[in-house]
Structures are given as structure tokens and as C-alpha cells.
Amino acid sequence: MNDLLMKLDTLKRPRLLIRAARIGMAEYRRDVHLRRHLGQGPLPRSGAALARLVEIESGLNEQRRERDAGYSSVKHVDLLIAMMGEARIMRAAHTNIAPLRKYVR
């Protein structure tokens, strides 16, 4: 989990994409955003969802860098919103569990 979050922290994307995604993250709804990117069916846990979103985003970023005619900045921002939202959920779960570890043996 930490490897995935560290990878996100080092991700380099254009400032405009990141800024738009941060604004959109305030409206993140897991059930809507994830279904749009991962399809119908049961939603995976945040770690698995985030790993899949990172794979999809990598492909989109490659399209962007190659100036592919099929590239959609709207889809890219929407995907970044989902990634940021899932990362926030993972970090919140991790910080809520971490203090308990010193009491559980």
C-alpha cells in the first residue's frame, strides 16, 4: 500500500491537470467515479482500485505525451480525481489504524 501511495506522490503531470483534479476531488463519489472507470460489478477495495486506476492513467498519460488524437483531457482529469479520492481513502484508513497498532500485540 505504501509503495502505491509513494508512487502517486512522485507522479509528474501537468500542473493544469492536477489543479483541475484537486478541484474536482471535492465532489468525488466512489460509486460513481469508480464505476465509470472500472465498469459495473462489485467495487474493489481502495488499494486494488487505485492500482487499476494507476494502470489506466499510465496509458492515458502516454496518449497525452504522444499527442494521440484519441486522448481526452476530460477523461484524464476524471481519472485523476478518482485516483486522488482513492488515495485519500487509503491514507485516512491507514492513519486511523496506525495508532491502534501500539496497543494491539
Distance CA 40, CA 42 (A): 7
Distance CA 62, CA 5 (A): 21
Q: Distance of alpha carbon 69 from its chain centroid, rounded?
A: 24
Q: pLDDT tens-digit profile of 32-84? A: 899 999 988 899 998 899 999 999 999 999 999 999 999 999 999 999 999 99
100 pLDDT higher than 70: no
Identity of the amino acid at 78: D
What is this structure's pTM?
Answer: 0.82
93 pLDDT higher than 90: no
Spatial CA neighbour of 86 closest among 41, 33, 40: 33
| DSSP helix/strand/coil, 85 | helix
Distance CA 22, CA 46 (A): 18
The answer for residues whose C-beta is within 8 angstroms of residue 43's C-beta and 6 or more apart is: 30, 31, 34, 35, 49
